[in-house]
């Protein structure tokens, strides 16, 4: 979560610029505010398990991020955390499975699917790559998410505010997919950009 907050902070202006083309021009600021709040909360009190870290962070995002991003990212983290349960340490494979649960919850909440020009276009290929590696290749997941975000550029948005633009949404990279790719990159960075070794996550090292 702290890696994610750092990444969102660095890229907030770019996210806002992307959002200005097909949205409300507030995605970067909203996400930075939410993750800054998550960072502050974790600095004051770190929950005892990885699942609890994600659930707490998800609740904080819901309460501090405006627009649709708060509920969507909050759902992603809370449902992933709930799927991890009370384990004090989780393997990469367990995290991948839980992340799949969180992503499916986002799809259900949003009504979106792959190709709709949303955050799912980064998250779905990322979790596919992570599961294909048995939960060990976080570098591959990061690359898949970044590629998925870039490949939203020629798509026409079918969900969210960008869908109101119709064909005018074509030619712009989706800001939600871009911020989702930043989160996957942060996960890879927290895991040392691993490409084959499953070191696992604990609440004291994976937040």
Domains delineated in the chain: 2-197 (1.25.40.340)
The pLDDT score that the predictor gives to residue 67 is 83
**Residue located via tokens 């949303």:** 118
The pLDDT score that the predictor gives to residue 206 is 45
Task: Say if CB 109 and CB 139 are below 8 A apart.
Answer: no
Taking only the tens place, the pLDDT of each residue in 122-157 is 999 999 999 999 999 999 999 999 999 999 999 999
Residue 73: CB partners within 8 Å, gap ≥ 6?
31, 34, 58, 61, 65
Instruction: Transcribe 103-117 into DSSP letters.
Output: HHHHHHHH---TTSS
The pLDDT score that the predictor gives to residue 195 is 56
Residue 141: CB partners within 8 Å, gap ≥ 6?
126, 127, 129, 130, 133, 184, 187, 188
Q: Model pTM?
A: 0.92
**Residue located via tokens 């190709």:** 115
Rounded-to-integer distance, Cα 56 and Cα 107, Å: 21
Residue 78: CB partners within 8 Å, gap ≥ 6?
54, 55, 58, 59, 62, 102
Which of 58, 141, 57, 60 lies closest to 95, judged by CA? 141
Task: Say if CB 23 and CB 161 are below 8 A apart.
Answer: yes
Report whether pLDDT(187) > 70. yes
What proportion of the chain, given as a percentage, has pLDDT over 70?
93
């Amino acid at each position: 979560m702290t890696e994610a907050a750092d990444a969102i902070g660095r890229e907030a202006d770019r996210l806002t610029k992307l959002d200005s083309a097909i949205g409300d021009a507030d995605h970067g600021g909203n996400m930075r505010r939410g993750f800054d709040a998550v960072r502050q909360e974790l600095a004051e009190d770190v929950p005892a398990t990885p699942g609890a870290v994600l659930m707490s962070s998800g609740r904080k995002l819901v309460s501090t991020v405006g627009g649709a991003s708060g509920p969507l990212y909050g759902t992603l983290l809370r449902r992933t955390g709930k799927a991890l349960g009370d384990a004090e340490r989780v393997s990469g494979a367990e995290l991948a499975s839980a992340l799949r649960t969180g992503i499916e919850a986002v799809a259900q909440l949003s009504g979106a699917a792959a190709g709709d020009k949303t955050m799912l276009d980064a998250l779905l290929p990322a979790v596919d790559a992570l599961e294909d590696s048995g939960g060990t290749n976080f570098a591959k997941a990061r690359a898949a998410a970044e590629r998925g975000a870039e490949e939203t550029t020629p798509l026409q948005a079918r969900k969210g505010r960008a869908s109101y633009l119709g064909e005018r949404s074509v030619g712009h990279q989706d800001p939600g997919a871009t911020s989702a790719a930043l989160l996957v990159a942060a996960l890879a960075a927290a895991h040392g950009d691993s490409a084959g070794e499953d070191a696992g996550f604990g609440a004291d090292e994976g937040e």
